[in-house]
Structure 1
Amino acid sequence: MRIGLSAPVVTAVPGIASAWEAGAGPDELGRIASCADELGFDHITCSEHVAVPIDAAATRGGTYWDPLATLSFLAACSRRIRLVTSVLVLPYHRPMEIAKRYGTLDRLSGGRVVLGVGVGSLREEFDLLGAPWDDRGAVADARMRELRSVWGRSEVSGMVVSPSATRDHVPLWVGGRTPRSLRRAVELGDGWMPFGLSAERIRAMLGRVELPAGFDVVLGTGRPLDPLSDPRTAERTLERLREAGATAVTCTVEATSAANYCEQLEALRAITERNDHS
């Protein structure tokens, strides 16, 4: 089971973000990304919201750094860790635009881009951007197929696309919490990134489908882990997610500063390495 990281600082979800993150910026973020990279973490994620309704911000948070800009910065701070959108809302974007913009990032980063994609859930944000709400599921399916057809190609419909991605296939991890999101992931993607579901519910949903070879199930830890002060709980959380079917876990970590965050990552890595060898 691979271990990744939900980037701190770039979102501010109440109850998840630590107090120190409010005053942090690129220096702290880059330090943490470099530390995670050196420790061998699998991936680091960044979410997407252009704007959040004021009422929704009370629970979702209102701070969301742009994923393309953020992951480009993190690419320059690292060498190996994979760069994951978690998630791009497909009805907000044209597939050719994604292929060019994130394909350029893929080339800049040496082929480290993973596109987490989803259908979206905030109608007000759809309205703000003029995106289709009522048929967003069908739109997302069509755009996943189109993205597959144009990703990494240097010529599309008689047009030159340069630069393009380093590969002609990009991993697509589908976000969502419904059986339809899982079906979409199995049929059109390379992995599933559920959220807001219990481990038991995830295990039950996975038991109803046949997963393709190499398919990723990417689960989140939910509440922040505190591997320095409470390693047993961190270890049990990871084991519970492994038993639910996780092939990769995106961790959120509790900390008091960027330096303490890196200490937490070292403790978390020690736990995972110990379990890998047990």
Structure 2
Amino acid sequence: MKFAISYNTAFYGVDPDRITAFARHAEDCGFESLYLPEHIVLYPGAMFGAHEIPPSLPYADPLDCLSFVAAATQRILLGTGVLLLPYHHPVILAKRLATIDVLSKGRMRLLTVGLGMLPGQARAVGVDFSTRGRRADEAIDVMRLLWAGGEDGVGFDGEFFSFDNLSSFPKPYGVTHLPIHIGGSSRAAARRAGRRGDGYFPGGALDQDERAVQIELARSTAAEAGRSPEALEYTRWGSIGMTVEQVATFAAQGVTRVVVSPTTAEPDLQRDEMSAFAERFALL
């Protein structure tokens, strides 16, 4: 089992010293990776399920934050949970991700992408909300094509993106393409993970029966697509207070990574929670 920690700037703040101290302590504790979420814009009335999202929450850009964290750390892997893929142009995004991976010496390896649930974000960037699934599928294909392409260039002709003879350098650090995990809470997301993903990271609000259905759907879809179901990583949200027995239950369900979050925004208490978790699971 791998263990990751999430830093949400909306709740913990965007102070650079706090972010770097958090990341360094997570690395010192032995956490495998650090995740950040994304909301491109917010607006009055934006709803997440039954809850309204305050528009003043300071969601910082996750890739910029991860690049900043990479410069302050040595080992910890960098992840997003989730990056709203339909609202990024894949040609630009492929360059940004490869650059972070090169500068971090191969640590931009836990990109998790999702579709987003706020129609106002789609309108803000000129994207038809109803097409975001197909747009995300194309974006994944475009990025992998650019990462794998050489000096002669590659071409793509899709519904949303089209180009000829493009070369994108630098390449990811020592690999043909960066892993792309799929986040979401729907069976469509599970199928996307099976067809195109290197892993599945379902949302936290699903009941256990639906979780089981979705991970099996991801694996069966992978097999139907001629891909290895066993190679598909399975990431789950967990509690920083979870017990060894709870983690064992996750492992029995095929979970390969657990992502936890501090319960407080107070830095000293965050450090205590991370240290206690690391000691409980002997991360070092």
TM-score, normalised to structure 2, is 0.82
**Corresponding residue for residue 55 of structure 1:** 45
- Residue 198 of structure 1 deviates from its aligned partner by 2.6
Aligned positions of 1:1-278 closer than 5 A:
1-8=1-8, 10-12=9-11, 21=12, 25-56=15-46, 59-61=52-54, 62-113=57-108, 114-151=110-147, 153=149, 155=151, 156-157=153-154, 158-166=165-173, 167-195=175-203, 196-208=205-217, 209-210=219-220, 212-221=229-238, 225=240, 227=241, 233-255=242-264, 257-273=266-282
Q: Which runs of 4+ in 1 moved over 6 A?
A: none
- Matched residues in 1 for 2:27 and 2:150: separation? 30
Q: 1:120 to 1:191 in 2, by over 3 A?
A: same
* Count of matched residue positions in the alignment of Structure 1 and Structure 2: 257
Q: Is the 8 A contact 1:202 1:244 kept in 2?
A: no
Note the alpha carbon deviations across 1:104-163, whole angstroms, 9 max, x for none.
Answer: 000011111122111221111100110121121111111111111112645334445333
- Residue 101 of structure 1 deviates from its aligned partner by 0.8
Note the alpha carbon deviations across 1:144-193, whole angstroms, 9 max, x for none.
Answer: 11111112645334445333321222111101111110110011010011
RMSD of the TM alignment (CA)?
2.3
Amino acid at match of 1:52: L
- Matched residues in 1 for 2:199 and 2:265: separation? 33
Q: Residue 54 of structure 1 aligns to a residue in which SS? A: coil
Q: Is the 8 A contact 1:154 1:163 kept in 2?
A: no
- Residue 272 of structure 1 deviates from its aligned partner by 1.7
Q: Is the 8 A contact 1:199 1:241 kept in 2?
A: no
Which consecutive unaligned segments of at least 5 residues does structure 2 have?
155-164, 223-228
- Matched residues in 2 for 1:177 and 1:124: separation? 20
Q: 1:81 to 1:154 in 2, by over 3 A?
A: farther
Q: Is the 8 A contact 1:177 1:197 kept in 2?
A: yes
Which consecutive unaligned segments of at least 5 residues does structure 1 have?
13-20, 228-232
**Corresponding residue for residue 17 of structure 1:** none
Which range moved further: 132-141 or 255-264? 255-264
Amino acid at match of 1:43: S
- Residue 65 of structure 1 deviates from its aligned partner by 0.8
Percent identity over paired residues: 28
Amino acid at match of 1:11: A
